[in-house]
Amino acid sequence: LMQPGPGDLIVDIGSNDATLLRGYAEGPTLVGVDPTGEKFRSHYPPGAELLPDFFSRKLVEERFGSRRAKIVTSVAMFYDLPRPLEFMQDVHDILDEDGVWLMEQSYLPAMLQAAAYDVICHEHLEYYALQQIEWMAERVGLRAIKAELTDVYGGSLCVVLAKRSSRHRVDEAGLARIRAHEAALGLGTAAPFEAFATRSLTSRDQLRDFLDRSRREGLTTLGYGAS
């Protein structure tokens, strides 16, 4: 979709320890935006810039002026936003006319189907299907040009967005498959959410029974989880 060249601006929002930025070859201007980034600064590739603050158009423009990003990435953070539409508008505004924004986050239908209630936590403010992403994108002048489902985090949605005026080819077939999948699940009704609640409560009760039984038998139970 986009082959970055020397000097092209690449912005990773929620860059954490710069794992994604380290995947680029030398040449582009690499920028990480992350309010927790200072403690990971030593992990950033040589020449990469860290903006240790929350992302906004103003933050990027204060440093780079009128330069526009060829690539913007945001992984596992879009569901943490109190004002996602405002965030989308800011990404739109820093994008080059033919720039792309790749976002990936947990996928609502996968969470419902797997009864993955462990995805629900205090920092996850939203739970998205493609439908909601496209609804917001339309309102800020963006459009989805490609989307695919991945196994990350028990099921994630990866979407590539670009400005409506961009020249990128749209993967209509791939987008249509995901839209049809979501329509078949009846996400506009209460049914899949009620089924999710029932499966989650059943899973909770089974886990509680296992822990109670293990304690009675004098067994040690170890828990392991990752964010």
Per-residue pLDDT of the chain (227 residues; tens, 9 = 90+): 778 999 999 999 999 999 999 999 889 999 999 999 999 999 999 999 999 999 999 999 999 999 999 999 999 999 999 999 999 999 999 999 999 999 999 999 999 999 999 889 899 999 999 999 999 999 999 999 999 999 988 899 999 999 999 999 999 999 999 999 999 999 999 999 999 999 999 999 999 999 999 999 999 999 887 65
Q: Is residue 225 part of a domain?
A: no
In a domain, 81, yes or no: yes
What is the pLDDT, as a whole number, of residue 100?
A: 98
Contact between residue 171 and residue 90 where contact means Cβ atoms under 8 Å apart: no
Helix H or strand E encompassing 63? helix 57-64
pLDDT the model gives residue 63: 98
> What is the model's pLDDT at position 3?
86
Q: What is the pLDDT of residue 143?
A: 98
Task: Tell me if 141 is assigned to some domain.
Answer: yes
- Work out how many domains the chain is built from and give that number: 1
Q: Are 127 and 195 in contact (CB under 8 A)?
A: no
In a domain, 194, yes or no: no
Q: Which domain holds residue 47?
A: 9-186
Distances (CA, A) of 163 to 98, 102, 140, 175, 213: 7, 12, 9, 16, 56
Cβ-count burial of 7 within 10 angstroms (0-12 exposed, 13-18 middle, 19+ buried)? exposed
Asked, for residue 139, whether it belongs to a domain, the answer is yes
In a domain, 204, yes or no: no
- The CATH number of the domain holding residue 43 is 3.40.50.150
Convert the pLDDT of each residue in 6-32 to its tens digit.
Answer: 999 999 999 999 999 999 988 999 999
DSSP helix/strand/coil, 186: coil
**Predicted local confidence at residue 2, as pLDDT:** 78
pLDDT for the residue numbered 61: 98
pLDDT at 166: 95
Q: Is 109 a domain residue?
A: yes
Q: Is the pTM of this model over 0.75?
A: yes
The predicted pLDDT at position 226 comes to 65
**Rounded Cα distance, 68 and 83, in Å:** 22
- C-alpha closest to that of 49 among 37, 57, 61: 37
Rounded Cα gap, residues 194 and 33, in angstroms: 38
Q: What separation in angstroms does the CA of 184 have from each of 162, 187, 190, 192?
A: 27, 8, 13, 11
pLDDT for position 154: 84
Confirm if 49 and 18 have CB atoms less than 8 A apart: no
Is residue 206 a part of any domain in this protein? Answer: no
Distances (CA, A) of 77 to 1, 94, 139, 221: 22, 18, 20, 31
